[in-house]
Structure 1
Amino acid sequence: YLFLDEKGKVLYVGKAKNLKKRVSSYFREKENNKVKLLVRKHKKIDYIITNSETEALILENNLIKKHRPRFNIQLKDDKTYPYLVITDERFPRLLKVNRVGKLKIRKKYGPFVHGKMLKNFAQVMNSLLRLRTCRNLKKTPCLRKDIDRCLGPCTGKVDQKEYLKNIAVLEEILKGKKTLAPEIKEKMKSSSEKEEFEKAAFYRDALEIIDHFKKSQIVEASGKGNHEVIAIAFNSLRAVIIVQYYVKDRLLNTVKHEVDYIDIEDLLSEFFLERYKTFDGAKKTIYTSRKVYEFIKPYLKTLNIEIKVPKKGMKKARLELALTNAETYLKDNSKVLSNMMDRLRLKNLPLRIECYDISNVSGQFAVGSMVVFENGFKSSNEYRRFRIKKIKGANDFAMMREVIERRFSRKDWDYPQAVVIDGGKGQLSSVSDIIPESVDLLSIAKRFEIIYDRDMNEHYLSKESAILKLIQNIRDEAHRFAISYYRKRHSSAFLRSELLDLTGIGEKTVEKIMKNYDSYDSIIEAGKEKLTTIIGKRQSEIIYRFLKKEEKDGN
């Protein structure tokens, strides 16, 4: 079933055996603000009938990927190990990633312990098997093609079937069923005899990296004692999923996922499908609770995993430990928000907190950021960036005012219960009149970390206070997000990289641009007509379409 808004945009995708019972429950919800907001925003509900629960799960996952509905889960890891992925493209790529994001995945391998080792391995495999590394296929071959490190599908002369043969070899290597060592040793020997010492050194290093990779695989190996423990704790607002990795019966790492949810069954099925459907190594063994097992049981055929419910012994103790972790984390965060409301005398329980920051140097390349924390957790999909448009020169107060005016003019954005400003009384007074009275307003002064409220009351919290740590965390995240956007806007290196990724824009065009411009803003300020005289109409159209999208993303 699909909840749609007045414009027909998909807000939420779910599945149920009993559609009437499931959907009706949303309209009776009294505690979960996310559910209440979904009900308020929707204008229509569509439904699709499938032949089985497995078919429903796969369709649900495909619809979520297609529409990216705002009310479906957005998992946030506090820490992750890297994976190797083979992309699902006409000419696939091999990538080392920490988060899959919007990538379309053909196969996924991992997780692995050493990120640098994994990056080196991916580079070696890409060179040995001559795989493409460019994000978008260019029309002009790059240096890797010239030095025979890539087959060059960008030329249009590479047969897809031939390219996929190399991908098949890669998959065999990643499964541990094939090794390139004999071929590499032969090439190293041949290069050395021809006195091509640079090539010989490359093959020598490749052998070492591949050997290191084989020894470092952690979850692929089906060794005794390798398993995962998964526990979930949830209340009416939020869920915490704990995943613990055990290798040779030793705890390697604990990863925590925090998420708002609409329906617990949808949450679990989406989580397991997203996590394990593209996994292509040995079958994973997962220990979890009876409750989770019953939810996932109908979908096991879709996943390359074996789920067990431990009844006694060490595995049961590990599951109980993971569950304690999840319950404690969930309880602690809920408690901080209620304590924050009492201690700072807020009107509202601060379920949604927004924080803003400005980044610039003497007024140049000025940008603003907005970060969002919901139920005490980051909600990074709701972060927003702002390019300062009206204010010239160094005036942080006026810039902050511009950002907040633009933010609160967006009636389609969810309202916060509280707003945090980085600064003291001056920053607070400069924006207090434009933030609705119904919203709690706080600022945090640098150095002494004093909290001010809308009425300029001072609140002193101990350095160990969980409330202060949460506010500091929100403030620091806003600062980080603003700085990253600022660097992007004025960095010539970043501009070069972004332009090279555009289809239809080659090295020569980028060189012409870089001789005349050094940042996003310098291109925008010069205007489209001037850019056209430098690189031509077709290329300038491509670049301005890209810049227009960037401007939209920057609000």
Structure 2
Amino acid sequence: MSISKHLQDKLALLPDAPGCYIMKDENQNILYVGKAKVLKNRVRSYFHGTHNNKTTRLVSHIRDFEFIVTGSEKEALLLEINLIKKHTPPYNIMFMDDKTYPYIEITKENNFVVRTTRNIKSKKSEYFGPYPSSQSAYEIVRLINQIFCIRKCRHIPDSPCLYYHMHQCLGPCIHEIDPKENEKTRKKIKKFLCGDTKEVMDSLQDKMLEASENLQFEKAQEIYNTIQALEHVIEKQTIDFKDRGNRDVFGYYVDSGYISFQAFFIRQGKLLERNMSITPLYEDEMDAFTSFIMQYYEKNVVPKEILVPQGTPVDILKEALNTNVHIPIRGEKKKLIEMVYKNAKEAHEQKFQLVFRKDNELKKANAMLSKIFDANIHTVEMFDNSHIQGTFNVSGLVVFKDGIPDKNSYRHYKLDGYRSDVDSMKEVIYRRYFRLLKEHLPMPDLLLVDGGAAQISAAKEIIDMLQLDLRVAGLVKDDKHATRALMDVNLNEIPIDSKSSLFFLLTRMQDEVHRFAITYHRKLRDKSMTKSVLDTVSGIGPKRKKELLKHFKSMKQMRLASVEQLSEVIPEDVAKILYARLHEK
């Protein structure tokens, strides 16, 4: 490929040092972030020699780059992960769509709480996991709270709750609990979470037998159900390793321009989780693999040992993660690596066609969109308004880049009153693009409005007023409110085949912007309703109101709660008044 004079001049300035490089397109949008042991060699390699199709596609969009020199490879690796997290470049490997895993948390205070969490950053807690799903973590926490007499509430209330009266909580809200007693229970729970369930099982068996002998058959049945649930949880933990260690095992498989990652998470010698991700590969496979591991540990607990395949830069990972990173040569651990690779390969072969087809459909849809507007369409912004008879008037903006939603760029707008849908469209478009102009931020390639001629004319009026060179179009719907065509700025309809890739992309955009706007609208409406209802109940002040909202999350959940459930947060007499108020016609 021919290299511009600007790029040639910048390539000549590259140093013989480690660091990060940032590839940009013609609009200075960040395409890709990479790290290098020697910046000069790595960055120049993009513009010389041959590449696979996907890397060639990345290089074809590069019009500029920046670089940051670091003191070591470790610093370059850490900087790369921070830059990826900040900018989410489209050509970088992104860890499992930013997925986080559920953990079980034991707080370190005297009257501790056991709960599930996805945030493991607090140093005031101990964490156990990760768990395969939130359901399995919730089930274990439910069993722990059922078996052990511990605090259940997030914040200690002023009076005892239902759990205290059921003898499932010692009642730290009304009297001091012996710290030694709490510590003894904490150790039992930690032992249980580490896989040693014998003591708990024996205790439950004894209690069940005692209840049966005392003719308390309902209580005996409840304990039996708990034992069954516990056995079900234990059975799920297959593959047992003798050393009962904590380790994560990573592997990958590359074929046809795609990479599949596989990870095994082993805790106390038991395999808790297997996970995989398949994604297009635009970079060196080992760089992608290393980046994947580093991104995973941004939001997960680092174990005492990580096993990786041959060729992995273990020294850099050891230094960056401050743990033992090991390439096994023989024995049980070597078999684990082989098993992970085999799983990655099998998963790749099973899912490749599906992912490949999806990527191809997106490329076709973007190509069709670019052909319609006779320009390269990469970034599309779309608005939708939502209100109820003019009240809670809001708008939502969604952004799609090359057919993929860029959720970091989504925006909510609370609009000033309501005059008409057309006026709402004018207001939100003015606010959006005046701000982009003011802050010198890049404009989208296409603005879509979820409406016909009136909405397009309103959008065009504002765009012309701001003197922007921005393409505008709208979605034309049929009598069933389904998209049937595009309408250009001259109000000409452009038919869209209902079986085409573009039709499905536009439908997805329409559904997404509607979902985003209506969710915000409901949130404001619920907030307003919460204020009007809770503020009328005697005995509910700012503190109790906050606790209710934190506990039930929404008015809908609060309305579904019984008096007993409301009493877990507020006194029973106040709970009865609130229950009656919530169910007034």
1:321 aligned to 2:345? no
Deviation for aligned residue 1:408 = 1.6
1:299 aligned to 2:317? yes
Per-residue CA distance 1:307-343 (angstroms, 9 max, x = gap): 88869x9769627626945972585156235422344
Deviation for aligned residue 1:431 = 1.3
Out of 377, 380, 387, the position equivalent to 2:404 is 377
Equivalent position amino acid for 1:392 in 2: Y
CA distance, structure 1, for counterparts of residue 122 and residue 64 of structure 2: 29
Q: In the comparison of the two structures, how many residue pairs are matched?
A: 472
Q: Is the 8 A contact 1:268 1:295 kept in 2?
A: no
Aligned to 1:506: 543
CA distance change for structure 1 residues 457 and 275 in 2, over 3 Å: closer, same or farther? same
Aligned to 2:13: none
CA distance, structure 1, for counterparts of residue 98 and residue 228 of structure 2: 28
Q: Secondary structure at the match of 1:369?
A: strand
Q: For the pair shown, which has the larger CA radius of gyration, 1 or 2?
A: 2
Equivalent position amino acid for 1:419 in 2: L
Deviation for aligned residue 1:417 = 1.9
Per-residue CA distance 1:104-129 (angstroms, 9 max, x = gap): 8954535536x545433322223434
Equivalent position amino acid for 2:485 in 1: I
Out of 509, 517, 525, the position equivalent to 1:474 is 509
Aligned to 1:465: 500
Alignment of 1:168-207 (within 5 A): 168-179=187-198, 180-189=200-209, 202-207=222-227
Equivalent position amino acid for 1:391 in 2: G
Per-residue CA distance 1:289-311 (angstroms, 9 max, x = gap): x7xx5356853755699688869
CA distance, structure 1, for counterparts of residue 505 and residue 262 of structure 2: 24
| TM-score (norm: length of structure 1) | 0.63
1:70 aligned to 2:81? no
Unaligned runs of 5+ in 1: 5-10, 247-251, 520-555
CA distance, structure 2, for counterparts of residue 379 and residue 126 of structure 1: 40
CA distance change for structure 1 residues 361 and 343 in 2, over 3 Å: closer, same or farther? same
Q: Secondary structure at the match of 1:332?
A: helix
1:85 aligned to 2:103? yes
Per-residue CA distance 1:21-62 (angstroms, 9 max, x = gap): 6689999999579987985xx9xx584x46x74x875x559x
CA distance, structure 1, for counterparts of residue 79 and residue 302 of structure 2: 22
Q: Secondary structure at the match of 2:461?
A: coil
Out of 139, 159, 177, the position equivalent to 1:120 is 139
Per-residue CA distance 1:68-100 (angstroms, 9 max, x = gap): 6234779475797x9540348645765556x66
Aligned to 2:563: none
CA distance change for structure 1 residues 508 and 396 in 2, over 3 Å: closer, same or farther? closer
Per-residue CA distance 1:134-180 (angstroms, 9 max, x = gap): 66x56757737745545678899678897676555444434433342
1:335 aligned to 2:363? yes
Greater RCO, 1 or 2 (C-alpha within 8 Å, sep 6+): 1
Alignment of 1:36-115 (within 5 A): 39=66, 47=70, 49=71, 53=74, 64=82, 69-71=86-88, 75=94, 77=96, 83-87=101-105, 90-91=108-109, 94-96=114-116, 107=127, 109-112=129-132
Q: Is the 8 A contact 2:456 2:473 kept in 1?
A: yes
Q: Secondary structure at the match of 1:450?
A: strand
| TM-score (norm: length of structure 2) | 0.61
CA distance, structure 2, for counterparts of residue 32 and residue 138 of structure 1: 58
Q: Is the 8 A contact 1:2 1:14 kept in 2?
A: yes
Deviation for aligned residue 1:476 = 0.8
Aligned to 1:541: none
Q: Secondary structure at the match of 1:112?
A: coil
Equivalent position amino acid for 1:356 in 2: F
Q: Secondary structure at the match of 1:415?
A: coil
Q: Is the 8 A contact 1:140 1:506 kept in 2?
A: no
Per-residue CA distance 1:331-366 (angstroms, 9 max, x = gap): 51562354223442342332x222222222212222
Out of 429, 436, 443, the position equivalent to 1:404 is 429
Equivalent position amino acid for 2:144 in 1: M
Q: Secondary structure at the match of 1:336?
A: helix
Alignment of 1:364-443 (within 5 A): 364-388=391-415, 390-392=416-418, 395-411=420-436, 412=439, 414-435=442-463, 437-443=468-474
Per-residue CA distance 1:171-208 (angstroms, 9 max, x = gap): 44344333422223334455667788886665344323
Q: Secondary structure at the match of 1:449?
A: strand
